[in-house]
Amino acid sequence: MTRFRTPLLAAVVIPLTLGFLIAPSAPPPGPALVVVLTIDQLRPDYFQRWPGEWRGGFQELLTEGAVFPNGRQDHALTETAPGHSTILSGRDPAHTGIVLNELGVDDPSFPLLDEPDGGGRSPNRFKGTTLVDWMRKTDPALRFLSLSGKDRSAILTIGRGQGPVFWYRKGRFTTSRYYADALPEWLVAWNSRRGAERLAATSWTLLRPDSTYSERDLMPFEAGGSDVAFPHLLPADSATAARAMPNYPWMDSLTLDLALEGARSLGLGKRGEPDLLAVGLSATDYVGHRWGPDSREIHDHLLRLDQWLGWFFDSLSTLVPRERTIVVLTADHGVTSFPEFAKLQGRPGGWIPLEALVRDVNLSIGRLTGDSAVLHAAPGLIYGDTARLRDLRVSPESLATALAPRVWSMPGVVTAWTPATLGSVSPDDVHAMRWWRSLPRRFPWLVCAVAKPGYVWADDGGHAEHGTSNEDDVDVPIIFMGSMIRPGIYPDTVRTTDIGPTLAQLLGVKPGGLLDGLPIKRVFK
């Protein structure tokens, strides 16, 4: 970056007797743009696993940012929806009301603009406020943009705020009628380029020579046993390729390209007050689920994402100077290795078929009452319509007491609690506290449980999974970068709920309501 210096003036004499004072230098301009990058399923140990291989955006963040390798999504249900709800709200899922993906953003009352029958989306389940609301209260003219490959990522990072919020669907980025009645012209123009469809029949080959990858490329348990080795070919049919795009690295390149186009079109960072750009990069999650966190595919994908982030930072700096940009990078959750891979490494691992147990219990209830769909399973959680159970003359408390021993006796389960027993657990129990941070006080649940490390909540294999309260799923990177940030690598344990309060303090805005997070003091110069 070129720096322009003012030539020194040759002898400047200021007659102090006349009372002249040397004017202090003007303070540096404040931030004009905050960029929040959330990489779905990014584990912090990836950065240490392949040291020296980063050349682009990751390298810039790791060397110029305040890096916290011990970041946490510090709740038990480590899924995309609850994870994103914590990032700019400063609050745990128990307080945002976003418990799990299935109870995230689906809302038929707000259909998609171009697909009325495709289901609706809105943040109506989200409770409270986020950084967008705090900034807007100080500056009603705030400009922001949120977009992602996933609807819940784009929506829940922002909270209930209305404005330009877009996500990918079948080759195009769209939104719902909660946000707008029509797509803006710049997005219509971007969609008309048909970027995803034009990638049909593209082959995903290794970015670097085969010999530079230490991971084996033929692991039969990956991707459900098919398409397990490079190269991976996008479908030749353009419509099919567009639907399959989220499973390939190019999903993130398209998202970043749209983010840059949106920032340019909306004039983000061009005012006297700071604006916000939130970008959810979702391909890491899809690649990680299909091929796992120990695969050659995840390695190659992240090398590509590193390059694309470098391009994005360079391109964004032509719109907003880097010294006036704050960048935050984090993730919504991590991921656990394939149990098959763990066993090859001599580590414990396995599947906990909680869904199968719930199906059996529902059938038993159905035989007695005629209703066989009253309970539901989520990772480590049995929940359901407790009011309906009472109508059927089934006591939720008695049912929970009967179910808990069945859950904790399953191979791979450490312990299980009911609403009556979780309240008596010591605050020193890390996993119990993570469940407290996941479950709103009035949420109708019966049993929550803790998995052993290496075990996942799934009936069988075929995909790598997340959703436990263990470190592989809870640990995420948290990095701040900008001229106001003190760079370094800090061992402090920090949480995604701390990101919103930290940005609020950097921007000089006041958070709304009670928060679970705190400003991270190490970040400030």
CATH of the domain at 324: 3.40.720.10
* Full residue range of the structural domain in which residue 185 is found: 33-343+469-523
Shared domain for 257 and 332, answered yes or no, is yes
For residue 202, which of 160, 249, 139 has the smallest C-alpha distance? 249
Assigned domain for 198 exists: yes
Shared domain for 100 and 224, answered yes or no, is yes
Strands 165-169 and 172-174: antiparallel
Shared domain for 280 and 366, answered yes or no, is no
Taking the C-alpha atoms of residue 223 and residue 221, their distance in angstroms, rounded to an integer, is: 7
Secondary structure (H, E, C), 188-231:
HHHHHCCCCHHHCCCEECCCCCHHHCCCCCCCCCHHHHCCCCCC
For residue 133, which of 30, 29, 276 has the smallest C-alpha distance? 276
Decide if 432 contacts 422 (C-beta within 8 A): yes
> Which pLDDT score is estimated for 17?
35
> Which pLDDT score is estimated for 119?
85
Q: Is the dihedral of CA 479, 481, 484, 489 positive or negative?
A: positive
> Which pLDDT score is estimated for 525?
87
Taking the C-alpha atoms of residue 204 and residue 497, their distance in angstroms, rounded to an integer, is: 36
> Which pLDDT score is estimated for 114?
83
Please classify residue 424 by burial: count the beta carbons closer than 10 Å to its beta carbon, then call 0-12 exposed, 13-18 middle and 19+ buried.
exposed
> Which pLDDT score is estimated for 26?
56
Decide if 106 contacts 98 (C-beta within 8 A): no
Strands 165-169 and 144-148: parallel
> Which pLDDT score is estimated for 12?
32
Give yes or no for a cis peptide into 28 (omega within 30° of 0): no
Determine phi and psi for 236, rounding to 5 degrees.
Answer: -75, -30
Q: Is 467 left (phi over 0), alpha (psi -120 to 50) or beta?
A: left
Shared domain for 111 and 251, answered yes or no, is yes
Shared domain for 109 and 242, answered yes or no, is yes
- Where do runs of H (alpha helix) occur along 202-335? 238-244, 250-266, 283-291, 296-317
Shared domain for 339 and 444, answered yes or no, is no
Assigned domain for 6 exists: no
Assigned domain for 464 exists: no
Shared domain for 440 and 484, answered yes or no, is no
Question: Of the residues 419, 451, 483, which one is the last residue of a structural domain?
Answer: 451
Assigned domain for 334 exists: yes
What's the pTM value of the predicted model, to 2 decimals? 0.93
Number of domains in the chain: 2
Element (H, E) at 40: none
Assigned domain for 121 exists: yes
Stretches where the chain sits below pLDDT 50 are: 1-23
Shared domain for 181 and 233, answered yes or no, is yes
Shared domain for 95 and 235, answered yes or no, is yes
Assigned domain for 434 exists: yes
Q: pLDDT (tens digit, 9 = 90+) per residue, 28-72?
A: 678 999 999 999 999 999 999 999 999 999 999 999 999 999 999
Shared domain for 439 and 480, answered yes or no, is no
> Which pLDDT score is estimated for 491?
96
Question: Of the residues 451, 478, 504, which one is the last residue of a structural domain?
Answer: 451
The token pair at 340 is 């098959």
Taking the C-alpha atoms of residue 123 and residue 12, their distance in angstroms, rounded to an integer, is: 61
> Which pLDDT score is estimated for 27?
57
Taking the C-alpha atoms of residue 297 and residue 82, their distance in angstroms, rounded to an integer, is: 26
Assigned domain for 463 exists: no
Q: pLDDT (tens digit, 9 = 90+) per residue, 421-460?
A: 999 999 999 999 999 999 999 999 999 999 999 999 999 8
Assigned domain for 103 exists: yes
Shared domain for 211 and 71, answered yes or no, is yes
Number of Cβ within 10 Å of residue 35's Cβ equals 24
Instruction: Identify the three-state secondary structure at position 85.
Output: helix
Strands 66-72 and 494-495: parallel
Question: Of the residues 398, 417, 451, which one is the last residue of a structural domain?
Answer: 451
Shared domain for 491 and 387, answered yes or no, is no
> Which pLDDT score is estimated for 24?
53
Strands 325-330 and 33-39: parallel
We report the CATH number of the domain holding residue 446 as 3.30.1360.150
